A and B are shown apart, each in its own frame.
Chain A
Amino acid sequence: MFAYIARRIVYVIPIVISVALVCFLLVHITPGDPLVAVLPADASQELAAQLRSAYGFDRPLPVQFGLWLWRAVHGDLGNSIATGRPVLSEVMRAVGNTVMLAIAAAMIGFTLGLLFGLIAGYFRDTWIDKVSTSFAIAGVSLPHYWLGMVMVIIFSVQLNWLPAVGAGPGGSGAWAWDWEHLRYLILPAITTSVIPMGIVTRTVRALTGDILSQDFVEALRAKGLRETEVFRHVVKNAAPTALAVMGLQLGYMLGGSILIETVFSWPGSGLLLNSAIFQRDLPLLQGTILVLALFFVLLNLLVDIAQAAIDPRIKRS
Chain B
Amino acid sequence: MSVLSDAALQAPPTAKARGYWATVGRRIARDKVSMACAFILALIFAAALLAPWLHLADPYQGSMIRRLRHIGTPNYPLGTDELGRDMLARLIYGGRLSLIVGILPVILAFVIGTSLGLVAGYVGGKLNTAIMRTVDVFYAFPSVLLAIAISGALGAGIVNSIVSLTIVFVPQITRVAESVTTGVRNMDFVEAARASGAGPFTIMRVHMLGNVLGPIFVYATGLISVSMILAAGLSFLGLGTKPPEPEWGLMLNTLRTAIYVNPWVAALPGAMIFAVSICFNLLSDGMRSAMDIRN
Interface centre among B136, B141, B232, B252 (most CB of A within 10 A): B141
Query: Please, which residues of chain A bring their CB within 8 A of the CB of B236?
Result: 145, 259, 262
Selected from A27, A146, A157, A255, the residue in CB contact (under 8 A) with B145 is: A255
Is A141 in contact with B225, judged by CB distance below 8 angstroms? yes
Query: Please, which residues of chain A bring their CB within 8 A of the CB of B281?
Result: 137, 140-141
Q: Mark B144-158, 1 if CB is under 8 A from A, else 0.
A: 110011101111000
Does chain B have a CB within 8 A of A177? no
Selected from A145, A150, A152, A278, the residue in CB contact (under 8 A) with B233 is: A145
Is A149 in contact with B266, judged by CB distance below 8 angstroms? yes
Distance to closest chain B CB from A40 (angstroms): 21
Q: Which of A268-312 contact B (CB under 8 A)?
A: 273-274, 276-278, 285, 289, 292-293, 296-297, 300
Does chain A have a CB within 8 A of B273? yes
Is A285 in contact with B153, judged by CB distance below 8 angstroms? yes
A18 with B137, Cβ < 8 A, contacts A30-B155, A143-B232, A289-B145 known: yes
Interface SS, A side: helix
Query: Please, which residues of chain A bring their CB within 8 A of the CB of B228?
Result: 143
Is B233 in contact with A143, judged by CB distance below 8 angstroms? yes
Considering the chains assembled together, what is the distance between the CA atoms of A296 and B140 in angstroms?
7
Does chain B have a CB within 8 A of A254? yes
Considering the chains assembled together, what is the distance between the CA atoms of A146 and B267 in angstroms?
7
Does chain A have a CB within 8 A of B182? no
Considering the chains assembled together, what is the distance between the CA atoms of A11 and B152 in angstroms?
30
Query: Please, which residues of chain A bring their CB within 8 A of the CB of B140?
Result: 15, 18-19, 293, 296-297, 300
Q: Mark B255-280, 1 if CB is under 8 A from A, else 0.
A: 01001100110110111011001100
Is B270 in contact with A255, judged by CB distance below 8 angstroms? no
Query: Please, which residues of chain B bring their CB within 8 A of the CB of A30?
Result: 153-155
A277 with B137, Cβ < 8 A, contacts A157-B263, A255-B145 known: no
Considering the chains assembled together, what is the distance between the CA atoms of A137 and B228 in angstroms?
15
A143 with B154, Cβ < 8 A, contacts A137-B282, A150-B267, A278-B238 known: no
Is B149 in contact with A140, judged by CB distance below 8 angstroms? no
Does chain B have a CB within 8 A of A182? no
Considering the chains assembled together, what is the distance between the CA atoms of A26 and B145 in angstroms?
12
Is B153 in contact with A252, judged by CB distance below 8 angstroms? no
Query: Please, which residues of chain B bring their CB within 8 A of the CB of A300?
Result: 140
A255 with B141, Cβ < 8 A, contacts A137-B282, A273-B148 known: yes
Is B278 in contact with A141, judged by CB distance below 8 angstroms? yes
Distance to closest chain A CB from B34 (angstroms): 13
Interface centre among B136, B142, B285 (most CB of A within 10 A): B142
Is B145 in contact with A31, judged by CB distance below 8 angstroms? no
What size tier do the contact residues of chain B reach?
35 or more
A262 with B237, Cβ < 8 A, contacts A15-B137, A277-B152 known: yes
Is B144 in contact with A258, judged by CB distance below 8 angstroms? yes
A27 with B137, Cβ < 8 A, contacts A149-B252, A259-B144, A273-B148 known: no
Is A31 in contact with B154, judged by CB distance below 8 angstroms? yes
Q: Mark B71-103, 1 if CB is under 8 A from A, else 0.
A: 000000000000000000000000000000000
Interface centre among A138, A150, A274, A278 (most CB of B within 10 A): A150
Is A137 in contact with B259, judged by CB distance below 8 angstroms? no
Does chain A have a CB within 8 A of B165? no
Is A153 in contact with B225, judged by CB distance below 8 angstroms? no
Query: Please, which residues of chain B bring their CB within 8 A of the CB of A41?
Result: none
Does chain A have a CB within 8 A of B229? yes
Closest to A300 in B: B140
Selected from A149, A258, A285, the residue in CB contact (under 8 A) with B270 is: A149
Does chain B have a CB within 8 A of A29? yes
Considering the chains assembled together, what is the distance between the CA atoms of A152 and B267 in angstroms?
11
Is A274 in contact with B252, judged by CB distance below 8 angstroms? no
Q: Which of B215-243 contact A (CB under 8 A)?
A: 225, 228-229, 232-233, 236-239
Distance to closest chain B CB from A284 (angstroms): 11
A157 with B259, Cβ < 8 A, contacts A254-B142, A296-B141 known: yes
Is A293 in contact with B145, judged by CB distance below 8 angstroms? yes
Is B225 in contact with A256, judged by CB distance below 8 angstroms? no
Considering the chains assembled together, what is the distance between the CA atoms of A27 and B149 in angstroms?
10
Q: Mark A153-184, 1 if CB is under 8 A from B, else 0.
A: 10001100000000000000000000000000
Distance to closest chain A CB from B35 (angstroms): 16
Considering the chains assembled together, what is the distance between the CA atoms of A158 and B262 in angstroms?
11
Is B153 in contact with A22, judged by CB distance below 8 angstroms? no
Is B145 in contact with A153, judged by CB distance below 8 angstroms? no
Query: Please, which residues of chain A bring their CB within 8 A of the CB of B259?
Result: 149, 152-153, 157
Distance to closest chain A CB from B48 (angstroms): 18
Q: List the 9 closest pairs (A to B, CB-CB), nearest first.
A: A146-B270, A256-B144, A255-B142, A141-B278, A277-B152, A153-B263, A255-B145, A18-B137, A141-B277
Interface residues of chain A, those whose CB is within 8 Å of chain B, are: 14-15, 18-19, 22-23, 26-27, 29-31, 137-138, 140-147, 149-150, 152-153, 157-158, 251-252, 254-256, 258-259, 262-263, 273-274, 276-278, 285, 289, 292-293, 296-297, 300
Known pairs A143-B233, A256-B143, A293-B140; list 15 more (Cβ under 8 Å): A14-B133, A15-B137, A26-B150, A142-B274, A143-B232, A143-B273, A149-B256, A150-B267, A157-B260, A251-B142, A273-B148, A277-B239, A285-B149, A285-B152, A293-B141
Q: List 29 A-B contacts (CB under 8 A).
A: A15-B136, A18-B137, A19-B140, A26-B150, A26-B153, A30-B154, A137-B278, A143-B228, A143-B229, A144-B229, A145-B270, A149-B252, A149-B266, A157-B259, A158-B263, A255-B141, A255-B145, A256-B145, A258-B144, A259-B144, A273-B152, A276-B152, A285-B149, A285-B152, A289-B141, A292-B145, A293-B141, A293-B145, A296-B142
